């Protein structure tokens, strides 16, 4: 009996304090992990939106620089956008850009031989427009990636001067 009297355990108050401290530390770690995850997802969505925008702008500018004729639909968005030119070897090139359910699709035809390229996804049709005035092609592109409060957008107005002589 003398051995058991010398051994004391933790009191209930000491146990409650220890559990409370461990819970606070655990809660802080979980919140830190959740915040890191949310930041990572937002950064990834923003990077995707910027890359989608840059890719679309690259292809449109590239084709517009070659264009001898530019046809913009008279509707609100200006799509479909049709760019065409004749190469030195008399081959007829026609590029058509159109939106299909938020996807910017490029259809390229050389003498009637067509190929299709998905240029960008997540295009916001309400904020995207094309206009050809004064020999300049001006377009607004808006890309939105993510959902709810995590939605990241990239939008910008670009101007391209097509081939001289239009």
pLDDT digits (tens, 9 = 90+) for 37-86: 988 988 999 999 999 999 999 999 999 999 999 999 998 899 999 999 99
Rounded to an integer, what distance in angstroms lies between the CA atom of residue 166 and that of residue 163? 7
Rounded to an integer, what distance in angstroms lies between the CA atom of residue 124 and that of residue 104? 10
The closest alpha carbon to 85, from 103, 70, 106, 74, belongs to 70
Question: Model confidence at 18, in pLDDT bands (50, 70, 90)?
Answer: very high
pLDDT given for residue 149 in this prediction: 80
The first and second tokens of residue 117, run together, are: 């390229």
| DSSP three-state, residue 22 | helix
The first and second tokens of residue 57, run together, are: 């702008």
Cβ-Cβ contacts under 8 Å for 46 (sequence gap 6 or more): 145, 152, 154
| DSSP three-state, residue 146 | coil
Share in percent of the chain as helix, strand, coil (round to 5)? 40, 35, 25
Residue with the larger pLDDT of the pair 1 and 62 = 62
């Amino acid at each position: 009996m003398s051995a058991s009297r010398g051994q004391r355990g933790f009191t209930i108050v000491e146990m409650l304090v220890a559990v409370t401290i461990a819970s606070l530390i655990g809660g802080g770690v979980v919140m830190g992990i959740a915040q890191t995850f949310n930041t990572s997802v937002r950064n990834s969505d923003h990077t995707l939106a910027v890359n989608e925008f840059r890719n679309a702008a690259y292809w449109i500018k590239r084709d517009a620089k070659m264009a001898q004729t530019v046809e913009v639909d008279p509707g609100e968005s200006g799509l479909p956008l049709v760019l065409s030119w004749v190469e030195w070897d008399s081959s007829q090139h026609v590029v058509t850009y159109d939106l299909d359910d938020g996807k910017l699709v490029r259809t390229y035809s050389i003498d009637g031989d067509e190929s299709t390229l998905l240029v960008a996804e997540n295009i916001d049709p309400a904020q995207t427009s094309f206009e050809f005035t004064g020999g300049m092609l001006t377009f607004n592109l808006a890309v939105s990636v993510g959902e709810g409060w995590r939605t990241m957008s990239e939008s910008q107005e670009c101007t391209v001067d097509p081939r001289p002589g239009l």
